[in-house]
């Protein structure tokens, strides 16, 4: 990765001494740059209005976020089976009561709801949700999206789009109007991890594949990827992988990855995103909230980066124990871009640790965060938290640099934050080519 923006002007400013920041003013300068630099959210589960009900927003969705459902069952006697029979509104009421009224909402996910309510000037401590509900019900979605993204300091949102989800694929097949602030991602979990079913689904879409993915199946999967590439114009292809993921290893998924997905990514000049470390459904009673984490063997990442030097890999790992190793692999392979503090990692104490480690080992050559938002308004608190956590980390980095003998300029800070929040994503994906 090369430094991208305005390094010449930063050097000019440095040599004239005009823009140098006095030591004591570094924290303020960093905060100011973080607050005024819009970011690209490289992985979310958000959708623009054209996707209808698939796009989640509003107070009831915020409260029934699966991160909160997992916490709810720790503070309520209601069984999951009973909970799933309730309406969305009843579920939200039950969660509000258990986690926000009967207990102080001090966990990361509960504080997030409070921060969203506060951002809209709504009450944060009422026994019921009526005021919040009438506020959200009165919003027009298009304008609300624009407002929320502005409040979050997000200029562009990258979605997660599943070509084998019947509800979603029928929308794509009819044709979806492009939205200026959303970009697609071709998500391939079903194709790479459940060939038994997905092979049949591909057959139903007219591709001549067989159960073993043999014969002309690989060529047909490539045709499938090419058709969906044309339809979605995705900025990358993506898959989430279990902690047991190995490469090389003989499996249909690995063959499809090596012989279909990676060649297609090369052809379309887009990266592949690997999200590694999920232990699916350790408690199926909790449904979406029932997944856990396991430490992965990152030799697989090293092997892929080495064997496919013409491919670019965006990688996020779910286990805390894998984070340092990922940085080391990124130092060995410049076709590897670590990104985000994913899911169970997205807590301030862990984000802080991971981000310090990444800066110390990689400078600014990584993408520090994505929101993973499933409900629109979550971008408000998730990006506020990212900026809040990054501020002291960057201040410390520049203060150490200054103490070691080199003062920083405001432009250098701007350039670094722009690289972290935008340019790394822009140069790695085809975000700007549409
Ligand atoms: O963080 C989450 O919401 C998880 O449920 C997953 O969706 C994960 O982010 C993924 O994209 O697989
Ligand atoms: Zn996700």
Band the pLDDT of 394: cuts 50, 70, 90: very high
Average pLDDT, the chain: 96
DSSP letter at 375 equals B
The pLDDT value recorded for residue 7 is 55
Place of tokens 């990442």: 301
Residue 1 predicted with pLDDT over 60 = no
H or E segment at 229? helix 217-232
Residue 433 predicted with pLDDT over 90 = no
Is 370 a pocket residue for ligand 1 (Cβ < 6 Å)?
Answer: no
Is 372 a pocket residue for ligand 1 (Cβ < 6 Å)?
Answer: yes
| CA–centroid distance for 417 within its chain | 18
Mean pLDDT value of segment 307-314: 98
Mean pLDDT value of segment 75-92: 98
The pLDDT value recorded for residue 10 is 56
Band the pLDDT of 109: cuts 50, 70, 90: very high
pTM for this prediction: 0.96
Closest ligand (CA of 289): 1
Using a 10 angstrom Cβ sphere, with 0-12 exposed, 13-18 middle and 19 or more buried, the burial of residue 40 is buried
Residue 78 predicted with pLDDT over 60 = yes
Rounded to the nearest whole angstrom, what is the distance from the C-alpha of residue 320 to the centroid of ligand 2? 17
The pLDDT value recorded for residue 3 is 42
Mean pLDDT value of segment 145-164: 98
The pLDDT value recorded for residue 4 is 45
Is 371 a pocket residue for ligand 1 (Cβ < 6 Å)?
Answer: no
Using a 10 angstrom Cβ sphere, with 0-12 exposed, 13-18 middle and 19 or more buried, the burial of residue 8 is exposed
Out of 187, 343, 370, 371, mutate this one to test ligand 1's pocket (max ligand atoms within 8 Å of CB): namely 343
The pLDDT value recorded for residue 431 is 83
Is 374 a pocket residue for ligand 1 (Cβ < 6 Å)?
Answer: yes
Out of 41, 42, 45, 188, mutate this one to test ligand 1's pocket (max ligand atoms within 8 Å of CB): namely 45
Mean pLDDT value of segment 371-382: 99
- What pLDDT, in 10s, does the model give residues 177-223? 999 999 999 999 999 999 999 999 999 999 999 999 999 999 999 99
The Cα 394–Cα 328 span in angstroms is 21
What is the token pair recorded at 144? Answer: 């609300």
Is 378 a pocket residue for ligand 1 (Cβ < 6 Å)?
Answer: no
Share of the chain above pLDDT 70, in %: 96
* One-character DSSP codes across 308-347: -TTS-EEEEES-GGGHHHHHHHHHH-TTEEEB---GGG-S
Strand partners, 154: 39
The pLDDT value recorded for residue 2 is 42
- What pLDDT, in 10s, does the model give residues 116-140? 999 999 999 999 999 999 999 999 9
- Residue of minimum CA distance from atom 12 in ligand 1: 240
Is 172 a pocket residue for ligand 1 (Cβ < 6 Å)?
Answer: no
Is 423 a pocket residue for ligand 1 (Cβ < 6 Å)?
Answer: no
């Amino acid at each position: 990765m090369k430094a991208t923006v305005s390094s010449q002007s930063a050097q000019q400013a440095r040599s004239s001494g005009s823009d140098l920041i006095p030591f004591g003013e570094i924290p303020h300068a960093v905060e100011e740059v973080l607050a005024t630099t819009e970011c690209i959210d490289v992985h979310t589960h958000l959708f623009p209005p054209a996707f209808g009900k698939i796009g989640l927003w509003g107070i009831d969705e915020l409260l029934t976020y699966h991160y909160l459902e997992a916490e709810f069952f720790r503070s309520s006697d209601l069984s999951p089976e009973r909970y799933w029979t309730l309406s969305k509104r009843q579920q939200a009421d039950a969660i509000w009561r258990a986690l926000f009224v009967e207990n102080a909402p001090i966990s990361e996910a509960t504080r997030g709801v409070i921060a969203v309510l506060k951002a809209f000037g709504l009450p944060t401590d009422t026994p019921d949700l009526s005021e919040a509900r009438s506020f959200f019900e009165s919003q027009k979605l298009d304008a609300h999206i624009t407002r929320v993204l502005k409040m979050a300091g997000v200029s562009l949102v990258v979605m997660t789009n599943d070509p084998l989800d019947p509800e979603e694929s029928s929308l794509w097949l009819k044709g979806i109007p492009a939205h200026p602030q959303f970009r697609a991602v071709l998500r391939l979990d079903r194709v790479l991890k459940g060939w038994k079913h997905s092979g049949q689904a591909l057959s139903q879409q007219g591709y001549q594949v067989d159960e073993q993915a043999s014969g002309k199946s690989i060529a047909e999967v490539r045709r499938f990827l090419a058709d969906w590439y044309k339809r979605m114009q995705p900025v990358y292809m993506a898959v989430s992988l279990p902690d047991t993921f190995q490469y090389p290893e003989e499996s249909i998924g690995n063959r499809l990855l090596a012989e279909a997905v990676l060649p297609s990514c090369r052809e379309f000049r887009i990266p592949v995103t690997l999200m590694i470390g999920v232990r699916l459904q350790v408690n199926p009673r909790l449904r979406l909230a029932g997944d856990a984490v396991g430490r992965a063997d990152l030799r697989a990442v090293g092997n892929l980066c080495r064997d496919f030097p013409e491919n670019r890999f965006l990688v996020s790992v779910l286990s805390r124990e894998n984070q340092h190793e990922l940085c080391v692999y990124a130092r060995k392979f410049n076709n590897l871009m670590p990104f985000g503090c994913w899911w169970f990692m997205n807590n301030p104490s862990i984000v802080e640790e991971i981000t310090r480690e990444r800066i110390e080992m990689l400078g600014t050559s990584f993408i520090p965060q994505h929101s993973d938002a499933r409900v629109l308004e979550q971008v408000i608190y998730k990006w506020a938290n990212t900026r809040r956590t990054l501020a002291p980390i960057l201040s410390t980095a520049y203060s150490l640099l200054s103490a070691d003998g080199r003062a920083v300029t405001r432009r250098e800070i701007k350039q670094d934050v722009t690289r972290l929040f935008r340019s790394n994503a822009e140069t790695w994906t085809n975000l700007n080519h549409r």
